[in-house]
Structure 1
Amino acid sequence: MNTFDAVVVGGGHNGLAAAVHLSRRGWSVAVVEAGAAAGGAVKTAELTLPGFRHDVFAMNLSMFAGSPFFATYKDELVAHGLRFLPVSDCFASVFRDHTYLGVSADLDKTLSAIFAISKKDAVAWRDMVERFRADAPHIFALLGSPMPSVAAVRAVVSAWRKQGVAWLADTARLLLATPRDFLDAHFHSPQVKAMLAAWGMHLDFAPDTAGGALFPYIEAMADQSFGMVVGDGGADTIIKAMCGLLRAEGVDIRLRSPVVEIETKMGAACGVRLADGTRIGARRAVVANLHPQLVFGSLLPPDPGRAEFDARVARIRPGPGTMMIHLALDGPPSWRAGEPLGRFAYVHIAPDLTMMSKVYAEAASGLLPAEPVLVVGQPTAIDPSRAPEGKHILWVQVRALPSAIVGDAAGTIEARDWDRAKEPYAERVLELLEQYAPGLRSKLIGRAVFSPLDLERENPCLIGGDNLSGSHHLDQNFIFRPVAGYSRYRTPVRRLYMCGASTWPGAGTGAGSGFMLAKMLAGSAKGT
């Protein structure tokens, strides 16, 4: 049996980030991944036709580019092929009258677009950008600290000293506010409000969900202030670079190696057993970059002493389901709102807050939404290399959907299981797209549809098609992620640790949990 200091179970980007840092701190590390390729929810593949490279799940790499992990290992990752492409026009929303409003990296361009709708909101936008410049160091310091920790306390104390008590009160309100309340307090135009509220639907924050204001604020202001990036050739550029770095470090990466048991001895994790019977020992840590329900529901033997914790894990509530539709096109979409809309990385079809609230309520009730929220990614607008010359791809994320179908809000789809409902529902999505981009069907030369059930089949951590690995509502975030008392990556099993989207700071491509855990294990995170 080969034995290492640490065994990382799951080759998603958080697990790889943990492996990179531990190996650079002198630990011997093995990474075991069930799939044929590492990456987890960051993968790029030819899903439709040869030469059309689609980001299967995540597309936006801005969180990775701005992460402490990338700042620490930038030179090494770039040396192993990591390449980003900057995005000039970041995101936009289209409205029912077929106008649009977007945020570009050029502040004057954004302000001009908002000014045409509301002079007051243009002023408010500029003021918010200025506020964000003061907010960002403190907010990112908090989000980049283990929860709870001395580092988190220091981030708050530093903010108090530099910004004062009033700033702390305003920030606390931001952390607790609903998107609607936050937006109503700052803007007048329904278009500006809808453009920002759409980011809440990327997670599981409907307009009236408490705690939902932070992400739209951070995403919009970060895109405005720092820009957005995508991967050159695909989001998997970060995975290829990390794997290349790990192999150069001598790290053992084993693909097609599903773990069937995390082995324990005297109450401590001591290794893993693979499906083929191979056993790999771990002297210091087993890092599970998996959903906790997979770890404690199937990979560990039952333990009466762990019953309360296991029950809490079993109650982790998923976010809404997601459908991914990947389209290969013979030409770019022809947006009714105008040709410039085709230059944006993301186009949200979520025209007003009422519609977003209705979609979320329908999905939460088990209904297929009559008019779904669509996040339309246009990667070939930034990176033409992802398709043959003159061709294009669209990345369409459908938010939010039920994992289990009890009915159809429109009353036209009779199927109550996703294997039968996915194609009729994909047709509904295409009909909606056609309303905003006429002639899209005539350009369609290939498509791949992943229902919520398909997403879970593709990546078992996406339980019920939840691409968040657990709701981000306040009762499952911060010190409650994944469960109360275990937000610092430890578990009741000694030497068994968790990282990934199910743990703090949650979903996204920032590699935060993997990097923070590795720093804690290697003893290089001062004050944690």
Structure 2
Amino acid sequence: MSPNNITAAGELVMDQDFIIVGSGINSLVAAALLSRKGHKVTVLERNDWIGGCIRTAEVTLPGFRHDVFSGFHPLFVTSPAYGELAEELHANGLDYVNTDKPTAAILPDGRNFILQMDRGKNVAAMEALGEGQGTAYTRSMGDIEQNTDLIFGLLGAELWKFSTLKLLAKAAWNRGLHGMSSFFGLSLNTCRNWLEADFTSDEIKACFAPWILHTGLDPDSPLSGLMGKLISFTLEVAGMPIVKGGSDNLVKALSAIIESNGGRLLTGQDVKRIIVENGRASGVNCADGTSYRAGKAVICNVTPTQLYGYLLDGEYVPEVTRSEAANYRYGNGDMQIHLALDKMPEWTDPALNDVAMVHLSSGVDSVSRSVNQARRGLLPDCSTVVVAQPTALDPSRAPEGKAILWLQLQELPFLIKGDAAGEIPIPADGLWDEATKDAYADRIIDRLSAHIPGLRDMILARHILSPRDLATQNINLVNGDPYSGACGIEQFMLWRPLKSTKNHETPVKDLYHIGASTHPGPGLAGTSGYLVAQNF
């Protein structure tokens, strides 16, 4: 690595090939791949930890290791980045654990359905709930299996490239124009249409409907039907793997690859400005006066709001791009509730005890209703509850005999206008405060207690993150949106993040944009970082 230089002004200037702003999964993937190719890479993180939304901490009690923002990695273990880095990652301590029961849903009356990593068992269980439903599920999975070339080809590639045009041309040749039309028609279908057309069982519909929230969509959004099928396919194939000991072990493994190849990861570096010289991005300035120089490129893992509204001087941003960035939309807010338990939770149906992630939901209508309430500024009266059970897969996350639960609520407003149930007092300024988040968490725990008897007595401590807390802890989680931007079709694929930009390029030469705000969107796969690294 070249030595640091001190300018006359006293600024520390580090000459690197690549400066990467932000240290989330996409940044770490890009840094690992680039450093392995011999490039000099420095990752700059404004927080005091590396990993972005991958963080493990004892936020409740000592010995209870909670994945604070995210925790399951089915998208990463099926990604091209993992395919390329897996051997080194595992050599540096990464170890995944899994279960053959990735997900389930339980209805208010206790009925439930468990999806397993076994097509035959899933089909049989569905047929037991109603003749023809297993056949319908097989047909739905066939929609994915018969179109893997297009689905994974488009989600895993730069869309504005000749190679993607070749992919589409080949698909059109094989399918014919009518076949291509059918595929895109299938893609635009909604999750509601898919579930109501194929299934009569409330349990099956309740199992699949909540998953669409994990894509930043709702059951009535175009594309949600395809995404629902794709998630079901992925869960059946990959399960719900978590990192043994905590997700920060993935961060440590990626960091080890970067540092062993001469790269650097620096915390407490709040980038305030991108340096543009002679029409190209040549470095960044930080809040403490430090400058970092990039000989080849600057890669920013930020939102369009940050990139075009704050980091780049206005003279380098075309008016159309500035306008689009100002109008970039964010989705509903998110709440995380971390529980430290005195013992392993036992559900009313013991079959749920070792499921990775259980949703409390009544199905499509309840998900749609809660999304609508949140968009109108209301605290949902019966929101969809994600119940993740890390210690069911990895007992090392808690002291012996103890357990943790991770609850997630993805249908919340950032600015509160009222409570749909009319029970919780709303702050005068509409902003989440301690009393409001405690009251809402109590509502959720009361509901969960109906399915895990004695839950309240098991709770040793809890840690709650409201949408406001999330926005404070990670600058990319604007308004507490965990997906760094709404994922409706108008802001997805070719148009993510903006209609005036293409691929991960920006209007400034040698400045690249990665992260959940960019194609292919949110999810812990590292794909945007992977794609940018392929350019060098």
Using structure 1 for the length normalisation, give the TM-score.
0.95
Q: Which residue of 2 aligns with 1:176?
A: 188
Conserved 8 A contact 1:3-1:281? yes
Say yes or no: does 1:63 pair with 2:75.
yes
From 476, 500, 521, the equivalent of 1:485 is 500
The match for 1:387 is 398
Q: Is the aligned partner of 1:354 residue 2:365? A: yes
Whole-angstrom distance in 2 between the partners of 1:443 and 1:169: 54
1:230 maps to 2:245 = no
Which digits, 9 at most, give the CA deviation of each residue in 1:275-307, with x for residues without a partner? Answer: 221111011211001112122222233327533
Q: Is this contact kept in 2: 1:129–1:225, CA < 8 A?
A: no
SS in 1 for 2:285: strand
Deviations 1:379-406 (A, max 9, x none): 1111111011111111110121111111
Q: How many residues align?
A: 520
Aligned to 2:10: none
Partner secondary structure for residue 322 of structure 1: strand
Structure 1 pair 129/312, CA: closer, same or farther in 2 (3 Å)? Answer: closer
Match 2:216 to one of 204, 217, 220? 204
Out of 453, 464, 474, the residue aligned to residue 438 of structure 1 is: 453
- Tell me by how many angstroms 1:375 deviates: 0.8
Distance in 2 between residues matched to 1:83 and 1:472, nearest whole Å: 31
- Supply the distance in 1 between the matched residues of 2:55 and 2:518 (Cα, whole angstroms): 21
The farther-off stretch of 231-240 and 394-403 is: 231-240
1:41 equivalenced with 2:53 (yes/no): yes
Residue in 1 that maps onto 2:432: 418
**Structure 1 residue 512: Cα displacement:** 0.6
Measure the CA separation in 2 of the matches of 1:305 and 1:413. 44
The one-letter amino acid of 1:75's match is E
Residues 132-180 of structure 1: CA distance to partner in whole angstroms, max 9, x if unpaired? 3333343112210112222322333343445555543332123211111
Which one-letter code corresponds to 1:183 in the other structure? L
Q: For the Cα contact (< 8 Å) 2:141–2:229, is it kept in 1?
A: no
Q: Give the gaps of 5 or more residues in structure 2.
A: 1-12
In 2: Cα distance, 1:434 partner to 1:514 partner: 41
What is the aligned partner in structure 2 of residue 319 from structure 1? 331
Q: Distance in 2 between matches of 1:237 and 1:149?
A: 35
Q: Hey, what's the Cα distance between the residues in 1 that align with 2:282 and 2:439?
A: 48
CA distance in 2, matches of 1:18, 1:496: 14
Q: Once the two structures are superposed, what CA deviation does each residue of 1:476-512 show, in whole Å capped at 9, x if it has no partner?
A: 0011100003131111222211100000000001111
Residue 483 of structure 2 corresponds to residue 468 of structure 1:
yes
| Alpha-carbon distance between aligned partners in 2 of 1:151 and 1:432, rounded to the nearest angstrom | 50
For 1:85 and 1:311, the matched residues in 2 are separated by 45
Instruction: Return the alpha-carbon distance in structure 2 between the equivalents of residues 88 and 158 of structure 1.
Output: 36
Aligned-partner Cα distance in 1 for 2:424–2:240: 38
When structure 1 is superposed on structure 2, of 16-25 and 452-461 the one drifting more is 16-25
Mapped to 2, the partners of 1:137 and 1:306 lie a distance apart of 36
**Identity over aligned residues, as a percent?**
36
The CA deviation at 1:430 is: 1.1
Structure 1 residue 352 displacement after superposition:
1.9
Q: Is residue 513 of structure 1 aligned with residue 525 of structure 2?
A: no
2:271 maps to 1:259 = yes
Partner of 1:188: 200
Contact 2:108–2:360 under 8 Å retained in 1: no
Work out the CA distance in 1 between the residues paired with 2:255 and 2:458.
Answer: 37
Tell me by how many angstroms 1:24 deviates. 2.2
- Determine the C-alpha separation between the residues in 2 that align with 1:160 and 1:166: 9
Distance 2:530 2:471 in 1: 25
Alpha-carbon separation, structure 1, partners of 2:21 and 2:458: 42
Partner of 2:411: 400
CA contact (8 A) 1:138 1:155 kept: yes
Alpha-carbon separation, structure 2, partners of 1:122 and 1:179 = 17
Structure 1, unmatched stretches of 5+, are: 523-528
Describe the SS at the equivalent of 1:418. Answer: coil
Alpha-carbon distance in 2 for matches of 1:194, 1:497 = 40
Cross-structure match for 1:525: none
Q: Counterparts of 1:132 and 1:279 in 2: how far apart (Å)?
A: 48
Alpha-carbon distance between aligned partners in 2 of 1:45 and 1:487, rounded to the nearest angstrom: 37
**1:186 counterpart letter in structure 2:** D
Match of 1:119 among 118, 128, 131: 131
Q: In 1, distance between residues paired with 2:53 and 2:159?
A: 24
Q: Is the 8 A contact 1:120 1:188 kept in 2?
A: no
Deviation at 1:69, TM superposition (A): 0.8
Tell me the secondary structure at the aligned position of residue 303 of structure 1.
helix
Which of 368, 374, 381 does residue 370 from structure 1 map onto?
Answer: 381
